[in-house]
Amino acid sequence: MAEPTDISDQRLLKGARARASIARHAADVASAEGLTGLSLGRLASDLGISKSGVATLFGSKEKLQLAAVDAAREVFVDHVVRPALTHPRGWPRLRALIDNWLAYIDEPVFPGGCFRTAGMVEFDSRPGPVRDALKADHDDWFALLEQEIRRAQEQGHAADLDPHAVAFHLDALISAANTAARFGDDTAIPTARAIIDRLLDA
Amino acid sequence: MAEPTDISDQRLLKGARARASIARHAADVASAEGLTGLSLGRLASDLGISKSGVATLFGSKEKLQLAAVDAAREVFVDHVVRPALTHPRGWPRLRALIDNWLAYIDEPVFPGGCFRTAGMVEFDSRPGPVRDALKADHDDWFALLEQEIRRAQEQGHAADLDPHAVAFHLDALISAANTAARFGDDTAIPTARAIIDRLLDA
């Protein structure tokens, strides 16, 4: 792509960068205080910009929530999914996904810990576009996990269990470890790891 | 205890009943909208009473949140713990606790599903008395589970695993089933049940 030369291109890029940076901060706030705790005014005040500026970029609280979900999804892909793609498909990639996921829980990128766990639980009873976006993100993640579980099984690993049940089981253990670790239980992440090792080596 | 006879006794009882009924409604609201979504004004408006009346009974939003945690704890004890106490200690009581817990997830008493799961995730990054109360409730529940797991193991059941790790594993599966079921995954509760059966029969 050529460098932007005219003023409107530069404005567009500046707007896109501002949008991404506000969305990322919104994901940080939401991870600790909930997506419902987000507000255009709060974000503007945190970032030292005008509320009308944030409103111009996002339009509504719901659009800001959706942008926070997108931003959190990208962070998860960057930390957990992308580095695993360098490993061969199937068993090695599944192990890499799980290792990255546990590391992501152990040293959380978001101040409130795992964004997906927090968002899913917060919105499980609130129908609407935000819940739909969280569900779509969750379903994509499960589809990726199930694909690698199926391949690992074809390679003779990870026991003869339904791939969706294995994905559910992994997600349950790691989400619970995230919450327990945030409540000060230092045994939670090693416990989850040991259970997962037993589960996959069976 | 004798029947109350004078006016101040009756006032006290009326106050206690009003308090219990407001706390129970607060737990309902919090299960769906979060404990941070509670407010004295919202509760008063829902129940058709004055905000100053609610304020007199609870004093502050935090005290209302703490009362909601207590009310939810009592509901859990009534539905999950108390009916299991009629079963012999150890293996039969552990199975009854798990059956009641899964039934409680499957046909939720609270409009927002499991109150503990929602509260723990919401407050995992918010230090203070509400988080402490949620943690104390969670620790009591784990202590009870671990006691029955230990007894079941002495009776030759539930594999030779650390009781805390087994409690963590059960809690992870049932909490995840609660969230998944609320997102429309009909397989979640049967999947959790099947995994638990395998885990405990091992």
Best of A179, A182, A189, A201 to disrupt the B interface (most B CBs within 10 Å) is: A179
- Three-state DSSP at B179 gives helix
Nearest CA distance, A8 vs chain B (angstrom): 42
* Closest to B175 in 3D by CA, of A179, A68, A202: A179
Across the interface, do A172 and B168 touch by the CB < 8 Å criterion? no
pLDDT grade for A59, boundaries at 50, 70 and 90: confident
Best of B102, B149, B191, B197 to disrupt the A interface (most A CBs within 10 Å) is: B191
Burial state string for B1-10 with b = 16 or more CB within 10 A and e = fewer than 16: eeeeeeeeee
Cα separation, B143 vs A113, in Å, equals 25
Nearest CA distance, B29 vs chain A (angstrom): 11
Chain B contact for A155, CB < 8 A? no
Cα separation, A150 vs A157, in Å, equals 9
Cα separation, A22 vs A36, in Å, equals 16
Residue A147 burial (10 A CB sphere; 0-12, 13-18, 19+) = middle
**Chain B residues touching residue A172 (CB < 8 angstroms):** 172-173, 175-177, 192
Under DSSP, the state recorded for A3 is P
User: What's the CATH superfamily of B7-201?
Assistant: Tetracycline Repressor, domain 2 (1.10.357.10)
Chain B contact for A153, CB < 8 A? no
- Render B7-52 in DSSP notation, one character per residue: HHHHHHHHHHHHHHHHHHHHHHHHHHH-GGG--HHHHHHHHT--HH
Query: How does pLDDT run across B140-163, given as a tens digit for each residue?
Result: 999 999 999 999 999 999 877 899
Rounded to two decimals, the ipTM of the complex is 0.88
- Three-state DSSP at A109 gives coil
Choose among B37, B125, B195: nearest Cβ to A165: B195
Q: Which two tokens stand for residue A112?
A: 């409130």
- Continuous H helices in chain A: 7-33, 40-47, 51-58, 61-76, 91-106, 115-123, 129-154, 163-182, 188-201
- Three-state DSSP at A6 gives coil
Q: pLDDT at position B4, please?
A: 54
Cα separation, A151 vs B1, in Å, equals 68
Chain B contact for A177, CB < 8 A? yes
Choose among A121, A177, A191: nearest Cβ to B179: A121
User: Does residue A159 register a pLDDT over 80?
Assistant: no
Cα separation, B149 vs B202, in Å, equals 13
Across the interface, do B176 and A175 touch by the CB < 8 Å criterion? yes
Query: How does pLDDT run across A109-152, given as a tens digit for each residue?
Result: 888 888 888 899 899 889 999 999 999 999 999 999 999 999 99
Query: How does pLDDT run across A170-179, given as a tens digit for each residue?
Result: 999 999 999 9
Q: pLDDT at position A93, please?
A: 97
Q: Which two tokens stand for residue B153?
A: 């193991």
Residue B176's alpha-carbon distances to A56, A157, A168, in angstroms, are 38, 24, 8
Across the interface, do A169 and B34 touch by the CB < 8 Å criterion? no
Q: Which two tokens stand for residue A178?
A: 């995230």
Q: How far is CA A173 from the centre of its chain?
A: 16
Instruction: Give the range among A189-193, B111-115, B123-127, B147-151 with minimum mean pLDDT.
Output: B111-115
Domain ranges of chain B: 7-201
User: Does residue B1 register a pLDDT over 80?
Assistant: no
User: Does residue A98 register a pLDDT over 60?
Assistant: yes
**Chain A residues touching residue B118 (CB < 8 angstroms):** 121-122, 124
pLDDT > 90 fraction of chain B, expressed in percent and rounded? 58
**Chain B residues touching residue A128 (CB < 8 angstroms):** none
Residue B68, number of CB atoms within 10 A of its CB: 28
Q: pLDDT at position B23, please?
A: 93
Query: How does pLDDT run across B32-82, given as a tens digit for each residue?
Result: 888 988 988 888 898 888 888 888 888 899 999 999 999 999 999 999 999
Residue B189's alpha-carbon distances to B106, B116, B161, in angstroms, are 7, 17, 23
